[in-house]
Structure 1
Amino acid sequence: MNPTTNIAVRAARKAGSILMRYYNRIDTLTISEKQANDYVSEVDRATEAAIIEVIRRAYPNHAILAEESGEHAGNDYQWIIDPLDGTTNYLHGFPQFSISVALQHRGELISAAVYDPLRDEMFTASRGQGAQLNDRRLRVSDQRSLKGALIGTGIPFRDQRYLADYLAMLGAMVEDTAGIRRPGSAALDFAYVAAGRLDGFWELGLSVWDFAAGVLLVREAGGAVSDIRGGNRHLESGNVIAGNLKVHQAMVKRLAPHVPEALRA
């Protein structure tokens, strides 16, 4: 791992220790609703502060974009942080959540860490150096078509303007795949695509901190990531498809008739 990926790992592990400290006493947390169906607790803020502290100690001049505290000014390097991806799962004791830490330089993702503290699984990637799970090299699956593929997704829960379109996409994907999974942590969904546990994934309306690290994981594991139309505006739009090369291509084609006009620009 390069030095910045090592810092991402260190920050994610520190955040993970905080999440696990509170996991068995969630009922003591103060929880508030940021917007409809979107919650935040003191543990989100504590883990974010811990991540930022680790980054600032190593790279005091780097910029930061964090889910809870927003933008922190800096130079051409920007860290993109989701301190608890899957907050609703965490607050319900549902065992699927993660920490996501990515670094980009002038728009190019160069380091990533996605950490599942429950399973002690650390997914990492460094640009041009591949992706790993606990130091074991990752590769996307070798599934060649949608027939028999296991696909992950995220159901719209904040902005439901395109819910009907999404349901049409879901119907199209169910047709001949092995099944659809909606675990509830996009960062882990991307990590699972990189690890070959999922053959593909799609979602609408993600925030950049949800999946920036995941993009690098999938690409360094030999997969493809695009926006919902197969273009390169995924980080900007939050409408995303990921998968191994064959499945990604097939998903773009399968979903195309159901993409709403507003998302075609």
Structure 2
Amino acid sequence: MVNYQKLCEKTVKIARETGSFVKNFRLNNTPNVETKGKNDFVTQIDKASEQKLVEALGNLLPEAGFIAEEKTSDKVGKKFNWIIDPIDGTTNFIHGLFPYAISIALQEDDQIVLGVVYEMGLDECFYSWKDAPAFLNGEEIHVSKTPTVADSLIATGFPYSNYQLIQNFMETLTFFMKNSHGLRRLGSAAVDLAYVACGRFDAFYEYNLKAWDVAAGAFLVQQAGGKVSDFKGGNNYLFGRELVSGNALMFEEMQQTIEKFMKKEKL
């Protein structure tokens, strides 16, 4: 039987060690940048970070496979798969701007059972495991208690290649600018979700996201007492490329508002 707590503690250590490597490199070097697609970048440190994570996590749980952004490993696990983003916020990383983070989740069958987001700028590690609360650097965290969208600070992310729903998305920005405490765009979905989990943001939504962007952070939100869904209120947020999250009090209002604006066309 898997001891999720011990597994999580070891994963936190791996994330922190890899994060120190990434941060130290950036402080002393200018990364070499390659382009994977329109405004979709990768550096040699994304790849090196992922290689370190794959090796360490592979030793930690040899039977597990990987769903990883840079495809360092094509191993598929029968029961367990690590979902990892070696640097979430690569564009920030390229420009020397925080936040950027390492995101690690463990999927058992079709459920996430462990999540770690290590944000390097503030040296903050958010983590949780199955049947446990969420933590930030050893202290238990919870989502906010903000009751309405009108009282909320909301995070989002801008699409960088898929502009199919850009007009719908712009309508959401206009609405929340007028009907909330404000919008923030940090450039890392993993960090946005971690900040929802600890109550800094009341909600976060974005489309065209990948599983490695959101797997760990979405799990943290849920473990911290929040809710996560796709735009239609369903559970297809991990691979469905759309996600809305928030505290339990204002989540339904948030989700229904997003659905109203974003449902006009399919992704």
TM-score range, shorter chain: over 0.9
Partner of 1:12 in structure 2?
Answer: 15
Partner of 1:56 in structure 2?
Answer: 58
Q: How big is the shift at 1:247?
A: 2.0
Partner of 1:33 in structure 2?
Answer: 35
Q: How big is the shift at 1:172?
A: 1.7
Q: Deviations over 1:80-100 (max 9, x none)?
A: 000000000010011111000
Are 2:52 and 1:46 equivalent residues in the alignment? no
Are 2:91 and 1:88 equivalent residues in the alignment? yes
Q: How big is the shift at 1:128?
A: 1.1
Structure 1 range deviating more: 67-76 or 45-54: 67-76
Are 2:189 and 1:178 equivalent residues in the alignment? no
Are 2:156 and 1:153 equivalent residues in the alignment? yes
Q: Equivalents in 2 of 1:18, 1:261: separation in Å?
A: 44
Partner of 2:135 in structure 1?
Answer: 132
* Identical-pair percentage: 34
Q: Equivalents in 2 of 1:253, 1:40: separation in Å?
A: 35
Partner of 1:68 in structure 2?
Answer: 70
Q: How big is the shift at 1:162?
A: 1.1
Q: Secondary structure at the match of 2:149?
A: coil
Letter paired with 2:85: D
Q: Secondary structure at the match of 1:113?
A: strand
What RMSD in Å do the two structures reach over aligned CA positions?
A: 1.4
Q: How big is the shift at 1:143?
A: 0.1
Q: How big is the shift at 1:57?
A: 1.2
Q: Secondary structure at the match of 1:184?
A: coil
Q: Secondary structure at the match of 2:191?
A: helix
Partner of 2:246 in structure 1?
Answer: 243
Extract unaligned runs of 5+ from structure 1.
Answer: none
Q: Deviations over 1:134-183 (max 9, x none)?
A: 11001100000011210000011121111111101111222220000000
Q: How big is the shift at 1:263?
A: 3.3
Letter paired with 2:226: G
Q: How big is the shift at 1:262?
A: 3.3
Partner of 2:226 in structure 1?
Answer: 223
Count the aligned residue pairs.
Answer: 263
Q: Equivalents in 1 of 2:149, 2:74: separation in Å?
A: 39
Are 2:129 and 1:111 equivalent residues in the alignment? no
Structure 1 range deviating more: 31-40 or 1-10: 1-10
Letter paired with 2:24: R
Are 2:194 and 1:191 equivalent residues in the alignment? yes
Letter paired with 1:139: H
Q: Equivalents in 2 of 1:58, 1:245: separation in Å?
A: 34
Q: How big is the shift at 1:31?
A: 1.1
Q: Is the 8 A contact 1:199 1:243 kept in 2?
A: yes
Letter paired with 1:40: V
Q: How big is the shift at 1:243?
A: 0.5
Normalising by structure 1, report the TM-score: 0.95
Letter paired with 1:200: A
Residue in structure 2 matching 1:120, options 120, 123, 141: 123
Q: Equivalents in 2 of 1:7, 1:83: separation in Å?
A: 17
Q: Is the 8 A contact 1:162 1:260 kept in 2?
A: no
Q: Equivalents in 1 of 2:223, 2:113: separation in Å?
A: 10
Q: Deviations over 1:65-91 (max 9, x none)?
A: 110016322231010000000000010
Q: Deviations over 1:92-148 (max 9, x none)?
A: 011111000000101111001000122110100112111000110011000000112
Q: Secondary structure at the match of 2:48?
A: helix
Q: Is the 8 A contact 1:154 1:186 kept in 2?
A: yes
Q: Secondary structure at the match of 1:123?
A: strand
